[in-house]
Amino acid sequence: MVDSPLFKLDHLTICQQGNDHKPIIDDVSFSLTQGQRLGLIGRSGCGKSVTSHAIMDILRPPLIRKQGQAVLQGQDIFTLPDMEKRRIRGQGIFCIFQSPGSALHPALTIQQQMMELSTVIEQSPTTVTNAIEYAFDRMQLPLRCLTQYPHHLSGGMKQRVLMAMALLLKPRFLIADEPTTGLDVLTERDVIDTMEIMLEETQAACLFISHDIRIVKRVCPDLLVMQDGKIVDRCTRDELTYRDRAETTREIIDAMKVA
Amino acid sequence: MSFQVNNLSLSLGGDKILHDISFTLERGQVTGLLGRSGCGKSTLAKAMVGIHRVDQSCLKIDGMIFQPKFGQTGHKIQYMWQDPHMALSPFLSAVRCVEEAMETQEGTTKTLRHEKAQDLLHQVGLTPSLMQKRPHALSGGQCQRIALARAIAAQPEFLILDEPFSALDLVTQKNIISLLGNLRQLYDFGLMIISHDLRTLWRLADKLILIDQGHIIEDRPTSDFLHTPRHDLTKTFASFALADA
Amino acid sequence: MKLLSLRATPLGLNTGIILIGCLLLIAFFGENLAPHDPNKMDLVRRLEGMSWTYPLGTDHLGRDVLSRLMSGTLLSLGSAVMTAVTILFIALPIGLISAMLGGWVNHLLMRITDIFLAFPMIIFSLVIIGFLGASLNSAIIGVALAWWPSLARLVHTLTTDALSKDFVLASRQCGIGPVKLVIRHILPQILPPLFVVMSLEMASILLVLSSLSFLGIGAQPPEAEWGAMLNEARPFFTERPGLLLAPGLLISLAVMGFNLLGEGIRHKLDNRSPFRW
């Protein structure tokens, strides 16, 4: 590779407090270049979500980071002061979580929540309003959503509102942590479609986390396979059919054929 | 044996959720209930077991009116909840959970129930050490197995599974599907599976029912459903299933 | 802000446990440990200050304040516990039954609860005590009768919530009867939050009982109850303020202990640790 990586995760190890012998995440490293889409697949409970939380540095107390660096554009996120960290979340790294319902404030309208971003991107309210309208248009959201509260929206719509926020913030690196869990297949397709539009527009790198290899294969050319907190396989999506892959990978491919 | 639903309509909180639903479940068949989220699939299933009250003449078993009073119908029809962790008591071990389902059956003793529960859990693939564990120490797939064992312990004629796969990863889904096949051979119950994902459903189901906004818009054998879809929504769902096949 | 966060830390919980533990020890062994007979009068040495014989001085009848405080602990805490138990005894069945049965029973029981709730609590207990005659027993009954409605409402809400859980519905689907349902599935869900609330309420109950004794309609002299001691000390406040301060401080300590304990347990049970944003 000629270009230096945009984001680099180095030897991330996460343990439960007071239990150093069995790490939850064991020496995980990977890197992404600008605009690269990397899929992270694995069975449930293998540590996919913990990895995404660790990158955002929002691990919950029993879990602690033992070692590791997360370097975004030359800065190690973990060692930054809190103020800087907050700035990086949003415009540096943007994360779309499993349950969009809890990611939006229940007592504010979508418009209010979108306008809050204007303070972050430091632009005049009119520019922001235009940007919001543009973002909603791209995400195929009707403008009437702006005046509604999160509970009026369906799961897919909430997920797309988050994507619209990403479109506004233009993050360098997007983490999508099981963004389609709990959505029906048709909504899932819509959400993935809009996510691809968003990624193209912002030119962000993307780490796409899912247990469903069918979606991951659609979105990402490169794949990581995780099992018990370790990366057990790295491949491109064309190599997936090869039989000499790691056992976990084979298991997941098999499951796709039957399920 | 067949379970008939005739002109079932249901309103909850002022909104009419189900409109004139009619279909028949056959005991020897696997029926798939398909639809987008929020279309009324789960509500329909809950009405069938009596969690939601519906008009008396709506439900019939073999032509006889069947008025489900929730709590007394478990031996005829069992509903299995979507989220396997929520559906198991956090206070009871796996084996106690399955025992509980047999408590109201006549002629059982505590030891008999215990043995039967262990047998059932063994059949669904739980090791003896896992049987003593409580749900929070178990994975989603293991909980789903326990929930299945409990449902079967109640000896139902029909079993309704509400999105049994959506909370599980693909490998676990595959294992549960093959388990369901084995259990059906052993216990011979009619099966209705609710899902939004035809990709998993079409290999299992003999018949598919598609619901949209509280109406049945398609009710046909699986192969017809897939190859000669009549509605746009059917086409979309079918294209998903066939794309992977 | 600092103080608020202190209440929820393990330090707060530990302080609460230590405070309540000490009080319990004194409650059970206070009578034996007390340096003097709490009711022995010594009219020559009345209203004396601190001394080696009388570490906290003597009251207006020459009784040892320390001994009276120690032997009064059992009565003060005991009556608060009795009140709490009586409240639970009324509130738990009413809340459970109305939530379990639903329908008209629910409406009837909850309307009765509302009617009780409509009266100002302290006035209502005053009426009951007035009817029964002033004594510690009638104070307990009065407070319990005025207090149960809010708790019955809480039990009702908790039970309704517990009943709607998938696993409770699953057990009902298998034909489990209401009694087994309550014992096996409902109580384990509602008791932990209920105990937390009760330990917080204990503090208020203690205060109310002490106030009633202070007003002279709770524990009667010569019983050594903290509130009654406050009442007796009232006329001598200017001469010997320590006489008022000692039981007052003890009541405050006990209230603080219960609060810290309740808050600590609540914090322990509440495992939704917030994200570090």
- At C18-43, the pLDDT tens digits run 999 999 998 888 778 888 888 888 88
CA A242 to chain B, closest CA, distance in angstroms equals 18
pLDDT at A243: 67
The Cα–Cα gap between C159 and C114 comes to 18
pLDDT at A85: 80
pLDDT at A242: 66
CATH number attached to the domain at B1-73:
3.40.50.300
Domain total of chain C: 1
B198-214 mean pLDDT:
87
The Cα–Cα gap between C28 and C71 comes to 9
| Structure tokens belonging to residue B181 | 């096949």
Residues on chain C touching B74 (C-beta within 8 angstroms):
173-175
| Structure tokens belonging to residue B163 | 């999105």
Q: Which residues contact A201 (CB under 8 A, 6 or more apart)?
A: A138, A167
Length of chain B: 245
Which of A210-224, B61-75, C26-40, C237-251 is predicted least confidently?
B61-75
A41 phi and psi, to 5 degrees?
A: -115, 160
| Structure tokens belonging to residue B84 | 């396997």
- Confidence band, pLDDT 50/70/90 cuts, at residue B234: confident
Residue C265 structural domain: 7-35+61-269
pLDDT at A257: 67
CATH of the domain at C224: 1.10.3720.10
Residues on chain C touching B147 (C-beta within 8 angstroms):
170
Judge whether A182 is closer than 8 Å to chain B, CB to CB. Answer: yes
Q: Which of C1, C63, C5 is nearest to C264 (CA)?
A: C5
- At A170-200, the pLDDT tens digits run 888 888 888 887 778 888 888 888 888 888 8
Domain-by-domain residue ranges, chain B?
A: 1-73, 75-188
Residue C112 is assigned to a structural domain of this protein: yes
The Cα–Cα gap between A200 and A194 comes to 10
pLDDT at A258: 58
Rounded (10°) CA dihedral A228, A231, A237, A240: -60
Contact C98, C105 (CB under 8 A): yes
- Confidence band, pLDDT 50/70/90 cuts, at residue B244: low
> From chain B, which residues contact C within 8 Å (Cβ)?
49, 51, 70-75, 78-79, 81, 83, 86-92, 100-104, 147, 150, 153-154
Q: Which residues contact A2 (CB under 8 A, 6 or more apart)?
A: none
Is C275 within 8 Å of A58 when comparing Cβ atoms? yes
The Cα–Cα gap between C239 and C262 comes to 38
Contact A9, A193 (CB under 8 A): no
The Cα–Cα gap between B161 and B42 comes to 10
Is C173 within 8 Å of B88 when comparing Cβ atoms? no
Q: Which of A118, A113, A114, A159 is nearest to A139 (CA)?
A: A159
pLDDT at C7: 47
- At B150-176, the pLDDT tens digits run 999 988 889 999 988 877 888 888 888
Which of C22-31, C219-228, C263-272 is predicted least confidently?
C263-272
Nearest by CB to B100, from C165, C166, C174: name it: C174
C-alpha distances (whole Å) from B231 to each of B38, B198, B226 are 19, 15, 11
B40-44 mean pLDDT:
87
- Confidence band, pLDDT 50/70/90 cuts, at residue C272: very low
Residue C277 is assigned to a structural domain of this protein: no
User: Chain B interface, mutation test: which of A151, A180, A186, A217, most B Cβ atoms within 10 Å?
Assistant: A186
Bin C260: left if φ > 0, else alpha if -120 < ψ < 50, else beta.
alpha
3-state percent helix, strand, coil for chain B, nearest multiple of 5: 40, 25, 35
| Structure tokens belonging to residue C138 | 């009638």
| Structure tokens belonging to residue C183 | 């014992």
Q: Which residues contact B84 (CB under 8 A, 6 or more apart)?
A: B140, B141, B143, B144, B146, B147, B167, B168
Nearest CA in chain B to A44: B169
Three-class DSSP category at B127:
coil
pLDDT at B245: 57
Residues on chain A touching B168 (C-beta within 8 angstroms):
44
For residue C269, pLDDT beyond 90: no
Which of A62-71, A199-208, B90-99 is predicted least confidently?
A62-71
pLDDT at A227: 85
CATH number attached to the domain at B75-188:
3.40.50.300
Average pLDDT, chain C: 85
Which of C7-16, C129-138, C142-151 is predicted least confidently?
C7-16
- Cβ-defined contacts of C29-32 (< 8 Å, 24+): C30/C70, C30/C71, C30/C72, C30/C73, C30/C74, C31/C70, C31/C71, C31/C74
Q: Which residues contact A238 (CB under 8 A, 6 or more apart)?
A: none
Residue C52 is assigned to a structural domain of this protein: no
pLDDT at C273: 36
- Cβ-defined contacts of C216-220 (< 8 Å, 24+): C216/C134, C217/C126, C217/C129, C217/C130, C217/C134, C217/C139, C218/C134, C218/C135, C218/C136, C218/C139, C219/C75, C219/C79, C219/C135, C219/C136, C219/C139, C220/C134, C220/C135, C220/C136
Contact C205, C139 (CB under 8 A): no
Sign of CA dihedral C41, C42, C43, C47: negative
Amino acid at C100: M
Q: Which residues contact C185 (CB under 8 A, 6 or more apart)?
A: B89, B91, C162, C165, C167, C168, C171
B75 phi and psi, to 5 degrees?
A: -80, -20
User: Chain C interface, mutation test: which of B69, B93, B99, B100, most C Cβ atoms within 10 Å?
Assistant: B100
Please report the beta strands in A139-251, taking only residues with DSSP state E, as ranges in sequence order.
Answer: 173-177, 205-210, 222-227, 230-236
| Structure tokens belonging to residue B131 | 């049987």
Nearest by CB to C273, from A57, A61, A86: name it: A61
- At C154-168, the pLDDT tens digits run 999 999 999 988 899
The Cα–Cα gap between B25 and C138 comes to 65
Nearest CA in chain A to B177: A259
Residues on chain C touching A60 (C-beta within 8 angstroms):
273, 275
Amino acid at A207: L
A243-257 mean pLDDT:
74
The Cα–Cα gap between C214 and C207 comes to 10
Sign of CA dihedral C27, C29, C31, C34: negative
The Cα–Cα gap between C93 and C155 comes to 9
- Confidence band, pLDDT 50/70/90 cuts, at residue C8: low
Q: A243-252, B157-166, C89-98, C165-174 — which one is most confidently predicted on average?
A: C89-98
Q: Please identify which residue in the block is written with the tokens 């709770």.
A: C218
pLDDT at B122: 92
- Confidence band, pLDDT 50/70/90 cuts, at residue A259: low
Q: Which of B118, B105, B99 is nearest to B74 (CA)?
A: B105
DSSP C108-125: HHHHHHHHHHHS-HHHHH
- Confidence band, pLDDT 50/70/90 cuts, at residue C276: very low
pLDDT at A120: 74
Largest CA distance in chain A: 56
Residues on chain C touching B51 (C-beta within 8 angstroms):
169
User: Chain B interface, mutation test: which of C164, C173, C184, C186, most B Cβ atoms within 10 Å?
Assistant: C173
For residue C98, pLDDT beyond 90: yes
A156-170 mean pLDDT:
84
Is C276 within 8 Å of A58 when comparing Cβ atoms? yes
pLDDT at B159: 93
Q: Which residues contact A248 (CB under 8 A, 6 or more apart)?
A: A42, A43, A225, A227, A232, A233
C-alpha distances (whole Å) from B65 to each of B3, B18, B58, B105 are 10, 20, 8, 23
Q: Please identify which residue in the block is written with the tokens 């790490």.
A: A23
| Structure tokens belonging to residue B7 | 């002109």
Which of A181-195, B63-77, B184-198 is predicted least confidently?
B63-77
pLDDT at C3: 45
pLDDT at C277: 27
Domain-by-domain residue ranges, chain A?
A: 7-258
What homologous superfamily is domain A7-258 in, according to CATH?
A: P-loop containing nucleotide triphosphate hydrolases (3.40.50.300)
Nearest by CB to B71, from C167, C173, C184: name it: C173
The Cα–Cα gap between B137 and A166 comes to 36
Q: Please identify which residue in the block is written with the tokens 């009638």.
A: C138
C49-75 mean pLDDT:
84
Q: Which of A152, A251, A191 is nearest to B170 (CA)?
A: A251
Residue C228 is assigned to a structural domain of this protein: yes
Residues on chain C touching B91 (C-beta within 8 angstroms):
184-185, 188
Please report the beta strands in B114-204, taking only residues with DSSP state E, as ranges in sequence order.
Answer: 158-162, 190-195
pLDDT at C270: 58
- At A54-77, the pLDDT tens digits run 888 877 777 788 888 888 888 888
DSSP A40-95: EEE-TTSSHHHHHHHHHT---TTEEEEEEEEEETTEEGGGS-HHHHHHHHHHTEEE
Amino acid at C200: L
Angle at which helices A155-169 and A185-202 cross, to 10°: 0
- At B99-151, the pLDDT tens digits run 998 888 878 889 999 999 999 999 888 899 989 988 888 888 889 899 999 99
- Confidence band, pLDDT 50/70/90 cuts, at residue C220: confident
For residue A29, pLDDT beyond 80: yes
For residue C216, pLDDT beyond 80: yes
- For residues C27-51, one letter each, b for 16 or more C-beta atoms within 10 angstroms of the residue's C-beta and e for the rest, the string is beebbeebebebeeeeeeebbbeee
Is C170 within 8 Å of B104 when comparing Cβ atoms? no
Residue A73 has a CB neighbour count (10 Å cut-off) of 14
